[in-house]
Amino acid sequence: MNRRHFLKTSSLVTGSFLSANGNATGAGATSPEHLIQLDEELVLRSKFLNEPITIQSIDLLRNGRNFLVRIRSHDGAESVTAPNSLRLKDCWPIFQNRVRRFFIGKDACQIEKLLVQLYRHGSNYKWQGLAFWVCQAALEMGVLDLIGKVRGVPLGELFGDVRRRDIGIYRASGNRRNTPEQEADVLRRFIAETGAKAVKIRLGGRMKQLEDTRPGRTEKLIPHIRKVLGDQITLYADSNSSYGVKDAIRIGRLLEENDYAFYEEPVPFDHLWETKQVTEALKIPVAGGEQEYSMRRFRWAIENRAMDVVMPDLHYNGGFIRSVRVARMADAAGLKCTPHMSGSGLGYVNVLHFASFVPNITDHQEFKGTSDIPCASKTSSLKPKNGIVICPSEPGMGVEVDPDYVRKSRLVPA
Ligand SMILES: [Mg+2]
């Protein structure tokens, strides 16, 4: 291990998963065989899965632009969860035709084995990609909520011990067209509204369009934001695949000089080999993975240290179970994990739960603001205060979608 990797891993490691046999997966000391094992191992705690919970019905509901998934069990338990509506508006027939029907009459507690079968069922693997995985995630999150409700435990407990309920958040700017001075005002407002101790800025022109809409914006923005916000704020930066390797490294050095905490998607997101080159050239941790949905490519990226911070999207990557496997592989390799936050639905609640039990989670999770789906928790305001959002501790997802809102939703035809 060279000095750069030693510095990176030693500053990034804070905890470790326990594997199914009770051994810590261990940070940094891993092997390709160990990663394969973690990729295939069951991740839900068996003590909550002993008594069957038979799924009687699964309904896809729609209220305006929002979708809901309602699952009922034979013995009267009910779950209502929010899938990724932004994506489901285009791909809901895949949920209805390829995912929903398969689970009717099945035992919710067999979810991990059923998801393996689902992948082959009706050649679903030919549909894999965001359109299939968001539909699987819609179903999986409903099933996990149902199991949590029946067993009386919050979602995180199904995977491991809940380690924290105070979840540090960051706000990300979506701006690429304003001046560095205007952007500083936007970030100051984010911080004032949420008390966030961290923010994320956008670099470059997005998707290999190197030129900023304002020439030189990125080079001015990076030092300006550090100067204006001071040393107490953690700064993250996302290029959204803007650069080739040479420019990615040049911009990365500027981030290092200004003490940014990670550098997200420096080069085209699916160019794992180039991402690895940038990671090896820089000291700043490189982050990526929000568009990734292949467990084998995640494993390659982790085994080969293509990145230092792995960012599976809980919906685009097919749900909690697959994303926990990614986090466990990252943990074994001494890498950190933070979920990408896909907007719409109750994605921010999903992120709170993921961060509540994953040991190698980063310090701050993205918070995009609350949703227009009316819901409440008895144990959390679901709003940021002093840069913290509390993870609900009621059973399952821990939030109740307003029953009136559910009643006014219409059933999407099967
Ligand atoms: Mg990103």
Place of tokens 């080999």: 273
- 30 falls in which pLDDT band (50, 70, 90)? confident
d(CA 29, CA 216): 42
Distance 26 CA to ligand 1 centre (A): 28
Average pLDDT taken over every residue of the chain? 92
d(CA 384, CA 366): 11
CB 165 within 8 A of CB 84: no
For residue 27, the model assigns a pLDDT of: 54
Distance 291 CA to ligand 1 centre (A): 9
For residue 217, the model assigns a pLDDT of: 93
Q: What is the pTM of this model?
A: 0.93
Among 27-41, 48-62, 66-80, 212-226, the minimum mean pLDDT is found in 27-41
For residue 195 the two structure tokens come to: 């008390």
Distance 288 CA to ligand 1 centre (A): 7
Distance 117 CA to ligand 1 centre (A): 31
Q: Helix or strand or coil: residue 193?
A: helix
Distance 290 CA to ligand 1 centre (A): 7
For residue 207, the model assigns a pLDDT of: 82
For residue 1, the model assigns a pLDDT of: 38
Place of tokens 């997802």: 397
Distance 171 CA to ligand 1 centre (A): 12
For residue 278, the model assigns a pLDDT of: 98
CA dihedral 182, 184, 186, 189 (to 10 degrees): -140
Answer whether residue 7 shows pLDDT above 70: no
- 83 falls in which pLDDT band (50, 70, 90)? very high
d(CA 248, CA 56): 52
Count of residues making up the chain:
414
For residue 213, the model assigns a pLDDT of: 75
Distance 373 CA to ligand 1 centre (A): 24
d(CA 364, CA 315): 19
Neighbours of 170 (CB within 10 A): 27
For residue 19, the model assigns a pLDDT of: 53
- 371 falls in which pLDDT band (50, 70, 90)? confident
Answer whether residue 29 shows pLDDT above 80: no
Distance 311 CA to ligand 1 centre (A): 9
Neighbours of 72 (CB within 10 A): 16
Which residues, listed in sequence order, are joined to residue 76 by a DSSP beta bridge? none
CB 399 within 8 A of CB 378: no
Which residues, listed in sequence order, are joined to residue 367 by a DSSP beta bridge? none
CB 388 within 8 A of CB 354: no
d(CA 88, CA 413): 14
- Which string of b and e fits 322-358 if b means at least 16 CB within 10 Å? bbbbbbbbbbbbbbbbbbbbbebbbbbbbbbbbbbbb
Distance 203 CA to ligand 1 centre (A): 11
User: Position 141: which residue type?
Assistant: M
For residue 132 the two structure tokens come to: 């299939």
For residue 344, the model assigns a pLDDT of: 77
Distance 57 CA to ligand 1 centre (A): 36
- 341 falls in which pLDDT band (50, 70, 90)? confident
Answer whether residue 323 shows pLDDT above 70: yes
Taking residues 135-160, report their average pLDDT.
98
Distance 240 CA to ligand 1 centre (A): 6
Distance 146 CA to ligand 1 centre (A): 31
Residues with CB under 5 A from ligand 1 (ion): 238, 264
Among 214-218, 330-334, 379-383, 388-392, the minimum mean pLDDT is found in 214-218
- In order of their start, the domains of the chain are 47-156+404-411 (3.30.390.10), 157-401 (3.20.20.120)
Taking residues 142-157, report their average pLDDT.
98
Phi first, then psi, for residue 216 (nearest 5°) are 80, 5
